Amino acid sequence: MKAPVSATGALLIGLILCAFACSTPPVPPEVQQAQGLDEDLRRTGVSFYAPQDYDRFQGRLKDGRDKVAAEKAKFGWFREYTAIQDDFRALMTDGRALLQHIRSSKASKAETFQTRARTLVDRVERIKKMTGFFNESGPVRMNLSRAEIKLAEAGLLLKKEEYETGSRSLAEGEFHVRAAEQAISGVLSRYLESGELAKWKRWAQESIDESRSSGSVVFLVSKLERRLTIYKAGTAVGTFEIGLGRFGLSDKLYSGDEATPEGKYKIVQKFPSSDFYKALLINYPNDEDRKAFVEARAKGLIPGQAGIGGAIEIHGGGKDSLTKGCVGMENKDMDLVYDYARVGTRVTIIGAVSIENTILAEIVKFEK
Amino acid sequence: MKGIKKNVVLVLAIAVVLAACKQPTEQINNVKAAIEGVMKAGADKYAVDEYKKLDGDLKAALDEIAAQDKKFFKKFGTAKEMLAKVLVDADALKAALPAKIEAAKNLAVSLQGEARKGLDAAKALLDKAPKGKGTAKDLEALKGDLTGAETAFADIQKALDGQDYIAAQDKAKSISAAAAKVAEQVQAAIDKVKGVKK
């Protein structure tokens, strides 16, 4: 029986195997691991989050590979990978640190993003709630609506982990919320002026004192709080919710401004039946109003040929209706108010009683 | 003579086996370049799932290479086949991308149309809503909401003009949702007046 391979052949095979397998030092595993790490880096979006660091990493990876190739080109016995292995180990250490940095950075961005979004939602909700208390809400609601749209966009981008683009949407949302806050402050800024507050407080106190000293009935209307309180002999006997016009929080200056006047008035006529259920006509404009009108006209603040206006009433028809400057009430409440009212009954209309009420406290927060 | 021939064949066979043990570095680089190209062409935006699959397939191929690399007798045949498939898939995706981008554009335009319809419907509802007792103030606020959504509508076109069709889709969806919310609230205000119990 003849051997399948001769002795020479066996020797040759042995030599080849020895040359390739036994005496050839293996390529360090770090070379392959670095490749895997490169892939992990790419997947985490390294070129976006740390482009310069990644360029350096890739440069070193390429150098390392070139060195491996150069070693491989040598005859097996002369290959030496020790220095290359050290280089790759250092590269792996740096690469892992970079990977960790990007992951942390992404996690931090996600958290920041979510915190910003939550804050924005809270701000939108808070301002929206406030818009329920006054009617001049058009510009405020417009900006809130835009902010909500931006928030929705940001939410979609968050799902896709597109934090940078999402962050821009949030920034736009924040811009609109700021605009809404400014619009609110614009409408209500005078409610923060200490002079105005002191004046309203004085009027309120004078009216209550008048009621107490004469035993009479006085109606105190606080516009910001949306409240009409009946005082009898200086004691509050009933409080009712009211509605105002579109620009009800402003002080009435001229006909058509849809503002509700502020001042100390009297009921001049009672209407048991009117377009708005029952009505109580007050003596707007009084002397103070006429004076203010003349001054405003001189300053060019009165548009066109607008007059000072009139026919300001407390009437029924519902507190949710937008009046043209009157004080609107629910019919059942109007019944009670109407019964208390006499021609000559004092009606004091003020902006707000005190700074302590919730809405003003919110505004003060904005101002700060 | 016969013995020598046998030896030569054997040596060649061993050489072939050893050659096959080399990592397919060039093929890996080609596949990576192809995936990079596909990404730059917009696959990560317009073919998210397919792009993720390509990425996953490449990772699987590299894992296979890493596994073989640890062995004494390395077999890279399977990895090479996997890489070849990734390359084919990457090329196919790249070829399909223009159509996908066009589809994204068409969808964005369609969503823009839906947003327009939504805004118009909300406006029509708002216009016909009775501004009487109990609604005037609510409707005034909703009018502000709708104005905001209407103003934001122009952003869709801006995104379309900038060829950012996914952003245009997102904007259109958000505006449609805002318009629907306004319409729903207007309807609620109308129902309030009519005394409709829900």
- What per-residue confidence (pLDDT) applies to A218? 96
**Domain CATH code at residue A255:** 2.40.440.10
* Region class of A263: left (phi > 0), else alpha (psi between -120 and 50), else beta: left
Domain boundary among A151, A170, A192: A192
DSSP 8-state symbol, A245: B
Does one domain contain both A87 and A187?
Answer: yes
On chain B, the residues whose CB falls within 8 A of the CB of A246 are: 140
With H, G, I as helix, E, B as strand and everything else as coil, classify residue A297: helix
d(CA A208, CA A205): 5
Does one domain contain both B112 and B163?
Answer: yes
Q: Given an 8 Å threshold on Cβ–Cβ distance, is A142 in contact with B136?
A: no
Q: Given an 8 Å threshold on Cβ–Cβ distance, is A141 in contact with B145?
A: yes
On chain A, the residues whose CB falls within 8 A of the CB of B15 are: 16
- What per-residue confidence (pLDDT) applies to A352? 84
Number of domains observed in the structure of chain B: 2
Q: Given an 8 Å threshold on Cβ–Cβ distance, is A12 in contact with B7?
A: yes
Of the candidates A357, A367, A320, the residue with the CA atom closest to the CA atom of residue A184: A367
- What per-residue confidence (pLDDT) applies to A181? 85
Asked if residue A8 is part of any domain, the answer here is: no
Inform me whether the pLDDT recorded for B135 exceeds 80. Answer: no
Does one domain contain both A249 and A313?
Answer: yes
Asked if residue A198 is part of any domain, the answer here is: yes
Q: Which of A8, A141, A318 sits opposite B141 (nearest CB)?
A: A141
What average pLDDT does this structure show over A108-119? 91
Of the candidates A342, A289, A335, A345, the residue with the CA atom closest to the CA atom of residue A315: A335
Inform me whether the pLDDT recorded for B124 exceeds 90. Answer: yes
Task: Work out the angle at residue A160's Cα, subtended by the Cα atoms of residues B86 and A153, and round it to the nearest 5 degrees.
Answer: 145
* Region class of A215: left (phi > 0), else alpha (psi between -120 and 50), else beta: left
Does one domain contain both B53 and B108?
Answer: no
d(CA A363, CA A265): 29
Domain boundary among A151, A172, A192: A192
Cβ neighbours of residue A162 closer than 8 Å, sequence gap 6 or more: none
Q: Which of A29, A146, A318 sits opposite B151 (nearest CB)?
A: A146
pLDDT tens digits, one per residue of A123-168? 998 888 777 767 767 888 999 999 999 999 999 998 888 888 899 9
Q: How far is CA A336 from CA A208, A311, A327, B34, in A?
A: 19, 21, 15, 82
Inform me whether the pLDDT recorded for B40 exceeds 50. Answer: yes
d(CA A142, CA B149): 8
Does one domain contain both A90 and A147?
Answer: yes
d(CA A156, CA A7): 74
Residue in chain A lying closest to B54 (CA):
A43
A-B Cβ pairs (cutoff 8 Å, strict): 132
Domain that holds residue A303: 194-367
- What per-residue confidence (pLDDT) applies to A193? 79
Q: Give me the phi and psi of A329, to 5 degrees please.
A: -140, 165
Does one domain contain both A187 and A200?
Answer: no
What average pLDDT does this structure show over A315-342? 89
Interface test with chain B among A81, A131, A320, by most B beta carbons within 10 Å: A320
Does one domain contain both A248 and A155?
Answer: no
Domain that holds residue B38: 2-97
What average pLDDT does this structure show over A176-205? 85
Mean pLDDT value across chain B: 85
Confidence of residue B196 (pLDDT cuts 50, 70, 90): very low
Inform me whether the pLDDT recorded for A95 exceeds 50. Answer: yes
- What per-residue confidence (pLDDT) applies to B110? 97
- Looking at per-residue confidence, does A4 or B187 come out higher? B187
- How high is the ipTM of this complex? 0.77
Confidence of residue B149 (pLDDT cuts 50, 70, 90): very high
Q: Given an 8 Å threshold on Cβ–Cβ distance, is B178 in contact with A145?
A: yes
Confidence of residue B164 (pLDDT cuts 50, 70, 90): very high
Q: Given an 8 Å threshold on Cβ–Cβ distance, is A35 in contact with B62?
A: yes
Q: How far is CA A100 from CA A92, A113, A116, B194, in A?
A: 12, 20, 24, 61
Q: Given an 8 Å threshold on Cβ–Cβ distance, is B148 in contact with A32?
A: no
Domain boundary among A158, A192, A226: A192
Answer whether 0.95 is exceeded by the pTM.
no
Inform me whether the pLDDT recorded for A190 exceeds 90. Answer: no
Number of domains observed in the structure of chain A: 2
Q: How far is CA A235 from CA A44, A197, A212, A214, A232, in A?
A: 71, 22, 7, 12, 5
On chain A, the residues whose CB falls within 8 A of the CB of B133 are: 317-318, 320-321
Cβ neighbours of residue A220 closer than 8 Å, sequence gap 6 or more: A204, A207, A208, A228, A229, A231, A348, A350
Does one domain contain both B113 and B146?
Answer: yes
Inform me whether the pLDDT recorded for A12 exceeds 80. Answer: no
Does one domain contain both B81 and B114?
Answer: no
Lowest mean pLDDT among A16-20, B99-103, B147-151: A16-20
Mean pLDDT value across chain A: 86
Of the candidates A312, A314, A317, A347, the residue with the CA atom closest to the CA atom of residue A330: A317
Asked if residue A6 is part of any domain, the answer here is: no
Does one domain contain both A163 and A246?
Answer: no
Q: Given an 8 Å threshold on Cβ–Cβ distance, is B170 in contact with A143?
A: no
On chain B, the residues whose CB falls within 8 A of the CB of A43 are: 55, 59
Task: Work out the angle at residue B177's Cα, subtended by the Cα atoms of residues B174 and B183, and round it to the nearest 5 degrees.
Answer: 145
On chain B, the residues whose CB falls within 8 A of the CB of A156 are: 170, 173-174
Does one domain contain both A297 and A363?
Answer: yes
Asked if residue A22 is part of any domain, the answer here is: no
Inform me whether the pLDDT recorded for A356 exceeds 70. Answer: no
Inform me whether the pLDDT recorded for A177 exceeds 50. Answer: yes
Q: Given an 8 Å threshold on Cβ–Cβ distance, is A322 in contact with B69?
A: no
Confidence of residue B66 (pLDDT cuts 50, 70, 90): confident
Asked if residue A14 is part of any domain, the answer here is: no
Does one domain contain both A169 and A228?
Answer: no
Residue in chain B lying closest to A21 (CA):
B72
Q: Give me the phi and psi of A234, to 5 degrees please.
A: 80, 0
On chain B, the residues whose CB falls within 8 A of the CB of A8 are: 3, 7
On chain B, the residues whose CB falls within 8 A of the CB of A157 are: 170
Rounded to the nearest angstrom, the minimum Cα separation between B11 and chain A is 7
